[in-house]
Structure 1
């Protein structure tokens, strides 16, 4: 424990020194703040429940996006939420809220904790400093957390302010410039401030790994040590989400679509094999590969797990190398399936009866279900084929409509942007915007080969600006 604490303090000091000397390189990307805050707050739920603190996240359904460095943003929020948890007494409350207007995104972290004495408030953002009442509390701290928060806010071109009343609480307000770019949607299990490492062992941040890392693994495991071990192991190559129960995993699947699931069988509450059955019986999630881990090694137990729809079944104790190999194998099959779907989508455009489209506006029904080539690839659930089919149909039907965008596509598919993005990305390897653009440009190529003038091709494929179309 002492070694972990020493390592924690050393890591924070090094991080602080990087930020202090401006050597920390910012890697800006469009971040969905709704998504990001939900992820951060979920990481602090356990510690707040243990301490008897009511932690609430308040935000509107409207998507709010900012340009930020994911790792620095995590450090900032981890510090603020960690302080709120440490200095709020049992029975207190912490509110995290997100609001936006046309130009700004505003995050507020408010608590009913011990507050900051008036005479000491001037030191909070300017020195490595702990207020007198914080030092007198039973909570550990080193005094540079809020200074770090202030400097991160400056690096991200944000503004931070606070108000505080002794024994009544503190409110921090951070404002960022709002942007309207398509966010890079990644579910990243929170990398908590090392000072509250009793919740979860931190794993490498997504922003610190290779750009080639794209697949998302959902790990469902109630044992903290094994869950943390698997998370740390697979985070090197994949985006990893971890939950401690099947119920939490099902809640996650309501809004997100991972590429593969690794689940324990023996867990409190819902068992892993029942969780597997529910996932495989749901048409919207049936195509997600599932590996079950279990200490039950009897013939009947293994058969039962496979009968629930599991794609593989590994007995504990297991070889990590074997588990990695099985994960790679299942994801390799997914990659082959993605390539197949993309080929079929392009064939739909090339095979479309242009005369029928021009005279009746009706596309012929060329379904990917009946393709002979579909028998040569690993198949996922039929609902996934229907999903791709319906997406392609909608894009073809609205090809010339310049107002047909991702929001309309999601509404027509009756799905949230987040869920639609995750599912399409998992099945095709492309996000909605990239997929729609690919379809339009493939159609444009066919029209250009047929001798249609560039300006007319641009209009027929939904590009109002011919110059922008030519550039693409």
Structure 2
């Protein structure tokens, strides 16, 4: 048995032992709110734990060309509430990514002594003006910027509350010469916590159960394709789901629906796997928001729940998920559901990426593949591409401006619908149009070349053959 399978089995055993506690959590949301205000301290290595958290952001920062690194000195084992620290760090790193321009740098620095842990999150983003510093921790206070960043203004206030609950501090200072630096400090020695503040299993977090095998990380990341967001407020179930799916997909793991929406503001995933009963925003409400959105409505949503009564099932189906899986679930069944939804999505992407304005008007295609929002967007997209088809200088930035969208929003929308980057989709669209023109028999290869904005006949022939496997001269 390999190490990954062993970790999954160990986690399954722990979940079996805590199944009754989890079921009570799901049917009693008030208990979740109460537990939010309590500490559940476990023993482990804070450095290893934070390294594992930053792995969830690697796909996002790669897309934005942002460098995210973790630096640490000798980090000793200690005692901490992993769920509280996870929420604080997730908030800080998410904010750093949102407010750091593409190509920037984010550093998470970890240091411990025998008594305390110190975590700094530094970025090279837009920073906070001196006159705004006094209010950044106030509830609903937001920093007005030209970056048009989505958010509710509760994140820093919430993180500060969690740090104080953890008997620590949460402070801010400018990152010289540019950006922000947030510092979290909290005790890690056992004597700092009352006996009632320790979790039932005080050694849950170990080095082997948190950090992936370094020798296999690079290889497995090359093979991963799709990105999944997992929303589950129970930390152990969340870790289990992450390990179950981590071998095949990029994973972003969060604890509630609000954090899913924060993820969507940064990067559009290929699938969302969500629990139903969660604090702040439950799975039903999250699913309704996603399916009603013009930007996110195409994302497959899988809802997980321990509620098996008919009323709950009807309520779950009414909010429009693509699949509804009951707990406890068969891991092989869950993986099959995810694989099938992603495979179907990829088939649709391949069809959509080969549509032109002539195809999009067909009612059959509209009904079977595209919802109303996607259909309208593609009509506008194709109209702009047709209008500028012969302009070899026409860029994605100009396309975004014509459509009234930011570059990042356009990138996410085209990538999610077609599976291609906007630049590659522009080339694909031009070659598909070229094929239609050549098949009509009304134009020569040279005429078609310049009608689709190719810079030269050689470049056109090369791109055409790459897409269709034959040179344009052989089209009949």
Choose the corresponding residue for 1:231, options 236, 239, 242: 242
Instruction: Tell me the equivalent position of 2:210.
Output: 201
Aligned pairs for 1:323-402 within 5 A: 323-343=334-354, 345-346=355-356, 348=357, 351=358, 367-368=360-361, 370-371=363-364, 373-375=365-367, 377=368, 379-402=369-392
Distance 1:369 1:38, change over 3 A: farther
Choose the corresponding residue for 1:95, options 122, 136, 151: 122
Distance 1:429 1:34, change over 3 A: closer
Instruction: Tell me the equivalent position of 1:404.
Output: 394
Distance 1:328 1:417, change over 3 A: same
Name structure 2 gaps, 5 residues minimum.
1-40, 53-60, 72-81, 127-172, 179-204, 464-476
1:244 aligns with 2:255: yes
1:64 aligns with 2:103: yes
Aligned pairs for 1:211-226 within 5 A: 211=222, 213-226=224-237
Instruction: Tell me the equivalent position of 2:296.
Output: 285
Helix, strand or coil for the counterpart of 1:222? coil
Distance 1:448 1:219, change over 3 A: same
CA distance in 2, matches of 1:405, 1:396: 13
Helix, strand or coil for the counterpart of 2:210? coil
Choose the corresponding residue for 2:309, options 271, 285, 298: 298
Choose the corresponding residue for 2:449, options 438, 444, 458: 458
CA distance in 2, matches of 1:209, 1:413: 38
Distance 1:88 1:405, change over 3 A: farther
Aligned pairs for 1:249-260 within 5 A: 249-260=260-271
1:316 aligns with 2:327: yes
Deviations 1:146-169 (A, max 9, x none): xxxxxxxxxxxxxxxxxxxxxx99
CA distance in 1, matches of 2:323, 2:352: 24
Distance 1:92 1:338, change over 3 A: closer
Choose the corresponding residue for 1:441, options 400, 419, 431: 431
Shift of 1:320: 0.9
Choose the corresponding residue for 1:413, options 403, 407, 426: 403
Helix, strand or coil for the counterpart of 1:261? strand
Deviations 1:143-200 (A, max 9, x none): xxxxxxxxxxxxxxxxxxxxxxxxx999899xxxxxxxxxxxxxxxxxxxxxx979x9
CA distance in 1, matches of 2:346, 2:323: 18
Shift of 1:395: 1.3
Name the count of aligned residue pairs: 326
Shift of 1:3: 12
**333-342 or 298-307: bigger deviation:** 333-342
**321-330 or 446-455: bigger deviation:** 446-455
Helix, strand or coil for the counterpart of 1:218? strand
Shift of 1:49: 7.9
Distance 1:82 1:423, change over 3 A: same
Distance 1:64 1:88, change over 3 A: farther
Instruction: Tell me the equivalent position of 1:81.
Output: 108
- The answer to whether the 8 Å contact 1:59/1:97 transfers is no
Distance 1:374 1:336, change over 3 A: farther
CA distance in 2, matches of 1:216, 1:197: 26
TM-score, normalization by structure 2: 0.56
Helix, strand or coil for the counterpart of 1:254? helix
Helix, strand or coil for the counterpart of 1:464? coil
Deviations 1:67-113 (A, max 9, x none): xxxxxx9xxx7xx62336889988996532159xxxxxxxxxxxxxx
Helix, strand or coil for the counterpart of 1:57? helix
Distance 1:48 1:291, change over 3 A: closer
CA distance in 2, matches of 1:38, 1:256: 19
Distance 1:240 1:285, change over 3 A: same
CA distance in 2, matches of 1:212, 1:468: 31
CA distance in 2, matches of 1:394, 1:298: 50
Deviations 1:195-241 (A, max 9, x none): x979x934578743265532221111111111122122212112222
Shift of 1:384: 1.9
Helix, strand or coil for the counterpart of 1:217? strand
Shift of 1:250: 1.0
